[in-house]
Structure 1
Amino acid sequence: MPTLYLIRHGQASFGADDYDVLSPIGHEQAEALGQWFATQNITPDLVAHGTLRRQKETLAGIQKGLGIDLPPEEHPGLDEYDFGELLKAKYAAGDAPEGMMTDHKSHFRTLRTTVAEWQRDEIPNPPETWGQFTNRVDTACRALMRDGVETVFAVSSGGAISQAISALLETPGVHQTKMQLQMKNTAVNRFVFTPRSTYFHGFNETPHITAANADRLLTYA
């Protein structure tokens, strides 16, 4: 059956001035995933990413490891929600938690509470509403799972991927956040589809990360 491989980007540059750049480990993760696909004889006939640099760089690394160079489609619906702008909207009056964009524990604790408020439409003037976010993710996925394609590689981000899964499984918003927080870098999530139905077949898989390389390649940010 036709399959959409929805892949999270590689490790980005957490805490740096520009987060939206793969780290050296992120590049290594992407190429390793492409090499694993090659060993399984899995080759896409459609590749895609959002507009973010870390997504584009990840897809380039996967294609390099796989030994192909297909022209990608760009779907803004695959982009991550803008957590930084959400925080600015939430803490417009100040009192933002210290270290929330540089310390991992503070960051993820703040993410959980902020996204829950966003899902309830409790943050004034967000960069996009929760409804707008979910709609654009759904639109992108529908565009990728179309007639005439058999194997799709699409590089996205943790929040968008988790929302695609949550929508398919019809789970409450809290589970979207739980899935996002455990999503590994370059994790593969699989959807099989027909013109009438979509089925969820795999979550957060990293077959290219083994006991031999996990100390270096297993990351979450």
Structure 2
Amino acid sequence: MAELIVVRHGQASFGADNYDSLSQVGHEQARLAGDALRDMGWVPDRVITGTLTRQKETLESMGFRAGTPEEHPGFNEYDFHDLLHVRYAGDVPVAVKGERKTHFRTLRETIFEWQDGGIVGARETWAEFETRTGDALRFATKTDARRVLVVSSGGVIGQLVARALNAPVRMMMEVNLQVKNASFTRFVFKGDRFMLSEFNATPHLEFAGRADILTYS
């Protein structure tokens, strides 16, 4: 069986004008993630990211940019800014934008509504998100490579886990909210078989003195 490790990008710039870039902590998380894979002797023979800056910066800080990394937009996160904008008709409450607990509670509710066919007028429907993440998975696994590294985002990882487990639709978001920055989620695959092997592992962030760099956004 071949292996696919999906790494969530490092901490992005929550609350900043440009969310789509890594914070200083995010770069350090990514560096430690890359070191951990090399220490385990796990060096990819195929590397893929989405097209988002925070995903590309994570890969660069991991130190796996030898050659030309591939890109697939199906590994991009859903556009949560757009979903919230549509839900609130362009007037997103200040608390939703700036308070973490309020933001993620509201986001969870918004994704559930989106999955149910709501949030009409958003740039992407839930069905389109399902389709493109499925396309991205096929792109990554229809390969002769034995070790595939993907840098993606929490919502995509949640969807891939739910798909591998044949879980109810709601499970995507419940998993999404648990995914730590720079964590490893490992799948094994062969042909059409695609199975979850390890979820949300952060051995590189769990040493004494590193508690302050374990983050979820």
Which structure 2 residues correspond to residues 63-78 of structure 1 after superposition, within 5 A?
63=63, 69-78=66-75
1:164 to partner: Cα distance: 1.1
Aligned residues with identical type, % of pairs: 44
Which stretches of structure 1, 4 residues or more, deviate above 6 A after TM superposition? none
1:93 to partner: Cα distance: 6.8
> Is the Cα–Cα contact under 8 Å of residues 77 and 137 in structure 1 kept in the other structure?
yes
Amino acid aligned to 1:106: T
> Is the Cα–Cα contact under 8 Å of residues 13 and 22 in structure 1 kept in the other structure?
yes
Aligned to 2:100: 104
Q: 2:150 aligns with which of 154, 159, 164?
A: 154
The reply on whether 1:145 has 2:141 as its aligned counterpart is: yes
What do residues 40-66 of structure 1 show as CA deviations (whole Å, max 9, x unaligned)? 1111000010010000000111126xx
Tell me how far apart the structure 2 counterparts of residues 220 and 148 of structure 1 sit (CA, whole Å): 33
Which structure 2 residues correspond to residues 110-129 of structure 1 after superposition, within 5 A?
110-129=106-125
> Is the Cα–Cα contact under 8 Å of residues 165 and 195 in structure 2 kept in the other structure?
no
What do residues 4-37 of structure 1 show as CA deviations (whole Å, max 9, x unaligned)? 0011000000001100010011000101111111
- Structure 1: gaps spanning 5 or more residues: none
> Is the Cα–Cα contact under 8 Å of residues 21 and 54 in structure 1 kept in the other structure?
yes
Tell me how far apart the structure 2 counterparts of residues 58 and 150 of structure 1 sit (CA, whole Å): 22
The reply on whether 1:87 has 2:84 as its aligned counterpart is: yes
Which structure 2 residues correspond to residues 1-221 of structure 1 after superposition, within 5 A?
1-63=1-63, 69-92=66-89, 94=91, 96-221=92-217
Tell me how far apart the structure 2 counterparts of residues 81 and 147 of structure 1 sit (CA, whole Å): 26
- Structure 2: gaps spanning 5 or more residues: none
1:70 to partner: Cα distance: 3.1
Tell me how far apart the structure 2 counterparts of residues 103 and 173 of structure 1 sit (CA, whole Å): 27
Partner of 1:148, secondary structure, is: coil
> Is the Cα–Cα contact under 8 Å of residues 47 and 70 in structure 1 kept in the other structure?
no
Partner of 2:47, secondary structure, is: strand
Amino acid aligned to 1:98: V
What do residues 52-107 of structure 1 show as CA deviations (whole Å, max 9, x unaligned)? 0000000111126xxx623110000000000010111111174x433212110110
Return the TM-score normalized by structure 1: 0.94
Number of residues of Structure 1 aligned to a counterpart in Structure 2: 217
Tell me how far apart the structure 2 counterparts of residues 142 and 169 of structure 1 sit (CA, whole Å): 16
> Is the Cα–Cα contact under 8 Å of residues 188 and 204 in structure 1 kept in the other structure?
yes
Return the TM-score normalized by structure 2: 0.96
Aligned Cα root-mean-square deviation (Å): 1.3
Q: Which moved more, 1:114-123 or 1:208-217?
A: 208-217
Tell me how far apart the structure 1 counterparts of residues 176 and 164 of structure 2 sit (CA, whole Å): 15
1:196 to partner: Cα distance: 3.3
